[in-house]
Structure 1
Amino acid sequence: MKLYAHPFSSYSQKVLIALYENALTFEYHNLESPTVKAELASLWPLKRFPVLVDQGHTLLESSTIIEYLQLQHPGPSTLVPTGEAGIEVHMLDRLFDNYVMTPMQKVVLDKLRPATEYDGFGVAEARTVLDKIYPWLDERLRGRTWAAGEHFTLADCAAAPSLFYADWAHEIPPACSQLRAYRARLLAHPSVARVVDEARPYRHYFPLGAPQRD
């Protein structure tokens, strides 16, 4: 397997967590390399990542890649359960991507624009989404170790990078103690801790000051 990814990319981290969780063997094509960037462009004209190449298949989108890994390269950890439990995992995966990761990226990417092109309205709207989803997640996590219960799943693969960066961009308030504790559990989980450590050399890319905590 070949994975085209960047260590500091949130969606790359999502897939890397799944790979590390099941100790899968793969070639890591780090997009810091211009050569790797050219390879990616030949595979996917939008040049978005991660991209997984395996057995003649080119897989796009992080959730799809993780489901493919479970189907073709199963390991001891079942990240996408079957039946009703799987429905909740899928729902939470989409919620973390759409309502934590996406608004977080809006706040961050706005800082990478020229100052004359800042989107104040869009950033305020994104922060409002985070202000609403944080308390909802806090309540949802009541009595749970992981996002969907007692087992680490696809939902946690999505939650880890989204909450990691979101707390830098728009801090999780102290009142959301369960969500803050969940974020801490994620960062202590071995597969998540590994991706966080691998990304440390690239923290200067974070435009909001790249906090030295975590």
Structure 2
Amino acid sequence: MLVVHHLGRSQSERIVWLCEELGIPYELKHYTRRADNMLSPPELRALHPIGSAPVITDGAVQIAESGAIMEYVIARHGGGRLALPPEHPDYPNYLYWLHFANGSLQPAMGRRMLIGRLQLPPEHPVRAMMEERLDRQLRFLDARLGAATWLAGEDFTAADIMMGFPLTTMRHFAPLDLGPYPNILAYLQRIAARPAYARAMAKGDPGMDLLLT
């Protein structure tokens, strides 16, 4: 049985959503963040040396990292659904955007969050550089979503599941006004309309504000 070890308000929501989209059986184990530092509890840290979510177990297999888990679940349990094959004309877009969330957008949001906590003034050159870099990435993403319904093209894929977290739940930790990016906001409404997304968030983080605007 595939077991999704889910830490509340974390990237592991992606794996719950993936399983719901694929309609595959899985067991969901919830973990609550520590009250003193909001990090993983000891029982999750004991599961994997890095001590962060997501983690899945599948029989004797244990895997961390949301992107790696995504590819594993799609290949082993999803029959390749929600991925595009290399011969598909949108495969390059799929591959690029599958990795954009963790490779570009989340690091930029994380750096901005840390700089904000250091209370650097807005005119500080480092803060200004980080703000400009994040805005450049968001404008790029907004342009893509103005040209295509979903990130890879007209097909909803795992790339969209990867992108959901930084645009929604991560904003609980790194507040971000998406008002200047209307295509991103419209995209979030398309995500909100997916029944599998609603089911996943209700199971994984019941009662959490989903930050879809």
| Equivalent position of 1:183 in the other structure | 188
- Residues 54-63 or 136-145, more deviating: 136-145
Structure 1 residues without counterparts, runs of 5 or longer: 204-209
Q: TM-score, normalised by structure 2?
A: 0.78
- Is the 8 Å Cα contact of residues 130 and 170 (structure 1) preserved in structure 2? no
Quote the Cα distance in structure 1 between the aligned partners of 2:183 and 2:65: 29
> What is the identity percentage for the equivalent residue pairs of Structure 1 and Structure 2?
24
Matches within 5 A, 1:49-198: 49-74=53-78, 78-83=81-86, 85-108=90-113, 118=119, 124-165=128-169, 169-174=175-180, 176-197=181-202, 198=204
Which shifted more, 45-54 or 129-138? Answer: 129-138
Seen in structure 2, the aligned counterparts of structure 1 residues 191 and 2 have a Cα distance that, compared at 3 Å, is same
Note the C-alpha offset of 1:109.
5.8
Q: CA deviation at 1:66?
A: 1.1
1:200, distance to aligned residue in structure 2 (A) = 4.7
C-alpha RMSD over aligned residues: 3.0
Q: Do structure 1's residue 7 and structure 2's residue 8 form an aligned pair?
A: yes
Cα distance change of structure 1 residues 106 and 13 upon mapping to structure 2, 3 Å threshold: farther
Q: How many angstroms does 1:125 deviate by?
A: 4.4
AA in 2 matched with 1:3: V
Separation of aligned partners in 2, 1:31 and 1:109? 25
TM-score (norm 1): 0.77
Task: Identify the structure with the greater helix proportion.
Answer: 1
Distance 1:30 1:167, change over 3 A: closer
SS at 2:199's partner residue? helix
SS at structure 1 position matched to 2:63: strand
* Aligned partners of 1:17 and 1:192 also within 8 Å: yes
